[in-house]
Amino acid sequence: MEIRENNIIFLLGAGCSKHAEIPISPDMVKEVQKLLKDDSEWKKYTNLYSYLRSSIEYSEGIFGNFGNTFNIERLLIIMSEIEKRDKNIIYPFIGSWNLRLAEVAGQNFEKITELKQLIKTKLLDWTNPKDLFTKAEYYKGFKNLHSEIGYSPLRIFSLNYDLCFEKAIGDDEVEQGFDPKSNEWQYSNFEEIRKSFCLYKLHGSINWYTDKHTGRLMLSNHPVTNPELIFGIDTKLKSTDPYFFYTSEFRKWLLHKDCKLIVAIGYSFADDYINDLISQSLINDKKRQLLIVMPINTDELESKKNTLATEQLNFKHDYNKHCNEQVHIHNQVAEKFLTNEMNAEFLTKNNYIKNDEEAPF
């Protein structure tokens, strides 16, 4: 079966870049805890970290969410909210700050800001490993698929901050919306696509920065000290560009009449607004398929699919049965999938892409 233009949309999560030695959130948590224990610059924030983590896990447990609910992004968004203090939208409803928080965060909560900055600085190290070109070589699987199916552009929506995709594919072949001369982001660059790929980095990138004089979003050739990133699950949908534009594009192409397959690689389904858009897309077209590439125990495949369909993807109960027929899990790590398996034959042989037969003349 032929793969036609706009048939496929890709969504990349943290698991996609794991094999480029960019740690996923649980590994980042372990590293932070190691630094708090061993590094003199971090040690003074140990009590603050312990208080924040235990409070986050307690709040999740109240609603029955136990287990692996704590992650770096959750920590950063909580810190950002506390950092607002009396400017927080719910401040008028708070009788007083918790006494323990006041003890561990400092009189003006300055330790919150300091620890947050330490984590953000470390995040740049994590997402920009040495010799990235070699480690991200497997991303060229996208290039191979593009050569095979022949149409341009392939649309890649990424939730990652790293540079794996553009470095492996080549900046000249990837449209992100930045003017090649001024390095300024402009949505008009997406009006006439002349490149092989459109890359929409929904949560920002370690080489984006805001020009302090013009207030405009700019692209750097290298990671910057204070990059434009969005942290936190509830605040990732922003009304400013490029974030709003990218999210609008994600919705637009998910609902496009030619979209037959959504391929999610290394995505954990932890972002509600992303899940809602995917749900809307599948409900809108019952022939549209969702292929999830993730390593998982074979015995858990069916239960994992049911969980995604009923909980993370938020389908209505009367649609659960049909929805499960649209959701497929491919038990594979991203590196092996992109290197050995992602080709036109694989995507069509299992009826992941179902194009209507052309009507006779």
Predicted confidence at residue 331, as pLDDT, reads 93
Q: For 92-106, what is each residue's pLDDT tens digit?
A: 777 677 889 989 999
Domain boundaries of the chain, sorted by first residue: 8-22+131-349, 25-126
What does the block give as tokens for 280? 């809307």
Pairing of strands 208-210, 197-201: unpaired
156/59: higher pLDDT: 156
Cα pseudo-dihedral 11, 211, 170, 344, rounded to 10: 20
Q: What whole-number distance in Å separates Cα of residue 249 and Cα of residue 173?
A: 19
Q: For 290-337, what is each residue's pLDDT tens digit?
A: 999 999 877 777 777 777 777 777 665 555 555 678 999 999 999 999
Predicted confidence at residue 95, as pLDDT, reads 67
- Global pTM? 0.88
pLDDT bin (cut points 50, 70, 90) of residue 70 is confident
Q: What whole-number distance in Å separates Cα of residue 26 and Cα of residue 3?
A: 37
Q: What whole-number distance in Å separates Cα of residue 10 and Cα of residue 261?
A: 9
Cα–Cα–Cα angle for 149, 150, 156, rounded to 5 degrees: 75
Burial of 264-286, coded b for 16+ CB within 10 Å and e otherwise, reads: bbbbbbbbeebbebbbebbbebe
Mean of the per-residue pLDDT values of the chain: 87
What does the block give as tokens for 244? 């709003």
Burial class (CB in 10 A: 0-12, 13-18, 19+), 180: exposed
Q: What whole-number distance in Å separates Cα of residue 199 and Cα of residue 100?
A: 44
Predicted confidence at residue 235, as pLDDT, reads 47
275: closest CA among 319, 338, 317, 233? Answer: 233
Range of lowest pLDDT (44-58, 140-154, 164-178, 298-312): 298-312
Cβ–Cβ under 8 Å, residues 60 and 69: yes
Predicted confidence at residue 356, as pLDDT, reads 63
pLDDT bin (cut points 50, 70, 90) of residue 69 is low
pLDDT bin (cut points 50, 70, 90) of residue 360 is very low
Burial class (CB in 10 A: 0-12, 13-18, 19+), 254: buried
Q: For 249-273, what is each residue's pLDDT tens digit?
A: 999 999 999 999 999 999 988 888 8
Predicted confidence at residue 216, as pLDDT, reads 93
Share of the chain above pLDDT 70, in %: 91
Q: Which residue has the tokens 């609603």?
A: 63
For every residue of 146-183, DSSP letters joined together read: HHHH--SPEEEEE---S-HHHHHH-GGGEE-SB-TTT-
Mean pLDDT (whole number) for 46-52: 96
Burial class (CB in 10 A: 0-12, 13-18, 19+), 327: buried
Mean pLDDT (whole number) for 273-288: 92
Q: What whole-number distance in Å separates Cα of residue 27 and Cα of residue 71?
A: 9
DSSP state of 213: T
pLDDT bin (cut points 50, 70, 90) of residue 358 is very low
Q: Which residue has the tokens 């805001």?
A: 210
Mean pLDDT (whole number) for 165-187: 94
Most distant pair of Cα atoms in the chain: their distance: 78
185: closest CA among 159, 166, 160, 205? Answer: 205
Helix ranges, 172-316 (H): 243-254, 272-284, 301-307
- The domain defined by 8-22+131-349 carries CATH number 3.40.50.1220: yes
Q: Is the predicted pLDDT of residue 359 greater than 50, yes or no?
A: no
